[in-house]
A and B are shown apart, each in its own frame.
Chain A
């Protein structure tokens, strides 16, 4: 299995809703990432988990809450989002988090906040 699987593919939510994005990989990768990508812009790093511990939080607002229940799963809990949070949310994983380690991306979850 060489894939990163993200669900749901599309999500529409109101500003008062609570929802979660899910990501799963079975490649034995020990680093997992959340990126946010707006249209025609590059991916921007949000969070990094290394060996199931949060290692990097790029000053992301607390309305985004990551969780890594085990080495294969990564969640992003969403609460009280704003319309400007609408974007493609990409999950990625890599063997490690340095040097030549290649990131494998999931297909993304396209989020629309009304």
Chain B
């Protein structure tokens, strides 16, 4: 099985930077994904990491350390529309290569 842990909720201010952490334990790590999900809507893909290091995509960056079983999603210049749940998901070679999602972090951006 897999354990994927994320904080349940976070609050940040418009224009600020926020870091959402994700830790995981898996026997056959084969990639980590971050998805954004607005309430009542489908998850949308944000980023993918399989090697250690930082992947940058505009205001969003994602970091991975495989030896520590750790990733974070960094959101810069926060906007009100960034209020959403952020889901960390891990693909495991030893689980049919399927994605298992963490519980998600509900981010609230305040003015």
Set of chain A residues within 8 Å of B48, measured between Cβ atoms? 100, 102
Question: Contacts of A103 on B, CB cut-off 8 Å?
Answer: 33, 43, 45, 99
Which residues from A are CB-within-8-Å of B45? 102-104
State which size class the interface on B falls in: 20 to 34
* Chain B hits for A106, CB < 8 A: 42
Contact indicator A98/B91 (Cβ below 8 Å): yes
Q: Chain A residue with minimal CB distance to B93?
A: A98
Per the bound structure, the CA–CA distance linking A111 and B110 in Å amounts to 32
Q: Do A43 and B44 touch across chains, with their CB atoms under 8 A apart?
A: no
Whether the Cβ atoms of A100 and B50 lie closer than 8 Å is yes
Which residues of B from 75 to 111 have beta carbons under 8 Å from A?
Answer: 87, 91, 96-104, 106
Report the interface size class on chain A.
20 to 34
Provide the A94-114 mask, 1 if CB < 8 A to any CB of B, else 0.
000111101111111010000
Contact with A along B49-84 (1 / 0, CB 8 A): 010000000000000000000000000000000000
Contacts of B44 in A (CB 8 A): 105
Contact between B91 and A99 (Cβ–Cβ < 8 Å)? yes
B104 x A42 contact (CB < 8 A): yes
| Interchain CB contact under 8 A, B98 and A105 | no
Is A74 on the interface with B (CB-CB < 8 A)?
Answer: no
Interface residue A45 (Cβ < 8 Å from any Cβ of B):
yes
Residues of B whose CB lies within 8 Å of any CB of A are 30-31, 33, 40-45, 48, 50, 87, 91, 96-104, 106
28 A-B interface contacts by CB (under 8 A): A4-B42, A40-B106, A41-B104, A42-B101, A42-B103, A43-B43, A43-B101, A45-B98, A45-B99, A48-B96, A48-B98, A56-B98, A88-B40, A90-B42, A90-B43, A97-B97, A98-B30, A98-B97, A99-B30, A99-B31, A99-B50, A99-B97, A100-B31, A100-B48, A100-B50, A102-B45, A103-B45, A107-B42
